[in-house]
Amino acid sequence: MNVSVATVVRLLVLVLAVVVLQLAVVGQISLFYANADLLPLVALSIGLLAGPVAGATVGFLLGLVADMALLQTLGVTSLLLIGVGYLAGRYRELRDATHKLVPPIGGLVATLAYAAAFSLIQFLLGVESPVSPLVIREIVVGALLNALLIIPVFAAVRAFLRADLIDDLRPRRRPVTRLRVTT
């Protein structure tokens, strides 16, 4: 990823826009008793497109801004989104991240892992009410919604950062081979 002042500004704008969109719109839409969550999806997208350092940094900023805006305990969301962005970036470095199924499967896995880790932290910090088994349904349905939502989110993030990306993650076409017909 080319890092310039313009890149940093673009990333900050992206972080702010995503948090506002999540809190004001996406978080208020409830489908099948669950909500989609843009935050892990954007951290994942940045990790897949720009590598672990950018993924972790954007994850940290997303978490920080979200916790600030919601007056929540600072640091919890950041810590988890750093993991999502970093691991997505490492996947890009170690495996083929150009396959079309990588974003949806990644979105599903990342959201499940993020929600599970968030739940674990909440249990460690103390939960003062009984927990319904339906919490699992909410996490799973939310992850499925995110697996669908990652497709436009990934495309939008890629379009937004196209100028800064060194090698764009498009599925590579096979070279056309000419067949020589011999009679």
Partner 1 sequence: MYKKSVRRRRAVLALLVSLSIALLTVYFGESASGGLHAVQRGFLEVLAPLQEGANRALKPARDLVGWTGDVFDAKSENDDLREQNEQLRRQVAALETAERDARQLRALVGLNRSSRFPDGYDPVGARVIGRSPTVWYSAITIDKGSSSGVRTNQPVVSGAGLVGRVSDVSGGAARVTLITDHTSGVSAQLVPDGPNGLVKATVGNPSDLLLDFVQKGRAVRSGATVVTSGWRSSRLESLFPRGIPIGRVTRVDSDERELYQRVHLRPFADLRELDVVEVLTGQSNAAENAQVTP
Rounded distance between C-alpha atoms, residue 36 and residue 14, angstroms = 18
Binding piece for partner 1, criterion CB under 8 A, among 2-10, 41-49, 74-82, 161-169 = 74-82
Contact 12, 62 (CB under 8 A): no
Are 175 and 132 in contact, with CB atoms under 8 Å apart?
no
Concatenating the DSSP letter of every residue in 27-62 gives GG--BTTB---HHHHHHHHHHHHH-HHHHHHHHHHH
Residue 34 — φ and ψ, nearest 5°? -145, 165
In angstroms, give the least distance from the CB of 163 to partner 1. 22
Question: Considering the complex, what minimum distance in angstroms separates the CB of residue 114 from partner 1?
Answer: 9
User: x-or-dash pattern for partner 1, window 75-94, by CB under 8 A?
Assistant: xx-xx--x---x--------
Q: Which of residues 116-175 bind partner 1 (CB under 8 A)?
A: 118-119, 122, 127-139, 142
Q: What is the largest CA-CA distance in the chain?
A: 82
Residue that the structure tokens 């349905």 belong to: 141
Q: Are 92 and 51 in contact, with CB atoms under 8 Å apart?
A: yes
- Quick note: the x/- pattern for partner 1 over 33-62, rule CB under 8 A, is x-x-x-x------------xx--xx-xx--
Q: Which is nearer to partner 1, 14 or 19 (CB)?
A: 19
Closest CB to partner 1 among 39 and 157? Answer: 39
Interacting residues toward partner 1 by CB under 8 A: 16, 19-33, 35, 37, 39, 52-53, 56-57, 59-60, 63-64, 66-76, 78-79, 82, 86, 115, 118-119, 122, 127-139, 142
